Amino acid sequence: MALAGSPSHNPLFLLSLFNKHTHTNTMKFTTAIALLAIPAATAFAPTTPAFGVRTFTAPNQFDFTLDAKKSIEDLSDADLKGKKVLIRCDVNVPLDGKTITDDTRIRSSIPTIEYLKGKGAIVTVCSHLGRPKDGPEDKFSLAPCAERMGELLGQEVKLVNDCIGEEVKATVDAAKEGDVIMLENTRFYKEEEKNEAGFVEKLAAPFDMFVNDAFGTAHRAHASTEGVTKFLQPSVSGFLLAKELEYLDGAIENGKKPMAAIVGGSKVSSKITVLNALLDKCEKIIIGGGMVFTFLKAKGLGVGSSLVEDDYVDTAKEVLAKAEKLGKTILLPSDIVIADKFAADAETKIVSSDAIPDGWMGLDNGPASTAEQKEFLSDCQTVIMNGPMGVFEMKAFEKGTFGIVDILADLSKEKGAITIIGGGDSVAATELSGRAGDMSHISTGGGASLELLE
């Protein structure tokens, strides 16, 4: 979305922050809109925060404040009983046809919905799914999500075939206290992502109040996340959103030391801002995934046919120089699992990271790297992971990612360290490993986690 007076390439960043007034029992719910400049080394500078709170500066025309209570738990029974509540959840789950392959995001939304139901509210869920291009597409229907949510709640979740209009109003008006309704995919309308005023008003019209429990989309100023707050009061957070902010923001600002971050994934370009921010906060950084090879090239090493962002080699050099200047340690893998092609049946071998031959590509960390990571993290009290170490979706290249997941799970389980998993691929890998239950917190947000960490 392009904003007046701003470069069109700057995405809009929506971050919900809480500021507790200690002299009263009320809460001030502040929403700050900031322009995130990428790949600037410092996208924005936080002021000195109170516990778990970060404040950002943005152009005046893009700032607004919602005076509201902090969360649904701060509302009285009378505030909720019989009220028609629109709740923005994130049920953007992976599907194989019509089969949900990971229902984590749906399960994460249940506590807030159960709470609202228990207080006698009429609950209507809205969400997006996938990236529809030109209006409704059956493959992006929320029907499987409504069915799965109904199974988890033990009651019918009625899916309305639209998210605005007379059918929505009639369904909500006919519902009883404790009923749960789900609207069809909000992104079937292009006006959703444009936050178009007319669409926002129609979306909000049938409801009395709004709850945002979709951390995964809280950084986007869309109609169903930001627009409706202008029409529905109170607008408050749900349990999931509050928990995400508490863990992610609290860990960064006030986490126990030593603190480490694990940054993986394929591209330096998508992680450079968070890397710079984490260098300011953490004593130790582990870099993994495809972005490793841009850093190895920055150190003058050959990388064969591995993924490299040549435009970011100088940026990688700057990150390494910054770490040295700050006295921080960046750990790169010492050995690499390489392959002759990007395929599950590729020929593979393990080589030193400074000996990748031409025509071969690195697709995972080797065992020596995992052992070094275990020692590197052994004294850490707070560890944040965002991004995998390799192509864990292929069995031949899963050991590096599952190895680091095991290290974190053991740190949390055996030493009481705070371990936070953020980012879609990191969460998927942790769930696949069977160690999700040993982590302190599994974030439901991908881009939102990154931008909050920034």
Query: Measuring CA to CA, how many Å separate 376 from each of 258, 289, 379, 413, 420?
Result: 11, 18, 8, 17, 17
Q: Which of 424, 435, 445, 446 is catalytic?
A: 424
What distance in Å separates the CA atoms of residue 417 and residue 379, rounded to the nearest whole number?
9
Nearest one of 439, 3, 20, 337 to 195, comparing CA atoms:
3
* Catalytic, out of 150, 165, 250, 447: 447
Radius of gyration in angstroms for the set of CA atoms belonging to the chain, rounded to a whole number = 23
Catalytic (active site) residue 327: no
| Count of positions (residues) in the chain | 454
Tokens of 389: 């170490």
Beta bridge partners of 34: 13
Burial environment of residue 416 by CB neighbours within 10 A (0 to 12, 13 to 18, 19 or more): exposed
Tell me the DSSP string of 381-426.
Answer: SEEEEES-SS-TTSGGG-HHHHHHHHHHHHHHHHH--EEEE-SHHH
Burial of 133 (0-12, 13-18, 19+ CB in 10 A): exposed
CB-based burial of residue 348 (10 Å sphere; 0-12 exposed, 13-18 middle, 19+ buried)? middle
Number of other residues whose CB lies within 10 A of the CB of residue 66: 17
Alpha helices (runs of H) in 154-213, residue ranges in sequence order: 166-174, 191-194, 197-204
**Six-digit token pair at 335?**
């050995």
| Cα dihedral 241, 57, 200, 191 sign | negative
105 given a catalytic annotation: yes
Single-letter residue type at 38: I
Which residue of the set 54, 69, 105, 281 is catalytic?
Answer: 105
Q: How far is residue 3's CA from residue 445's CA, in Å, rounded to a whole number?
A: 24
**How far is C-alpha 193 from the chain's CA centre?**
18
Q: Does the annotation mark 424 as catalytic?
A: yes
3-class DSSP state for residue 280? helix
Q: Which residue has the tokens 């923005």?
A: 88
Q: Which of 267, 317, 374, 413 is catalytic?
A: 267
| Catalytic residue list | 105, 267, 424, 447
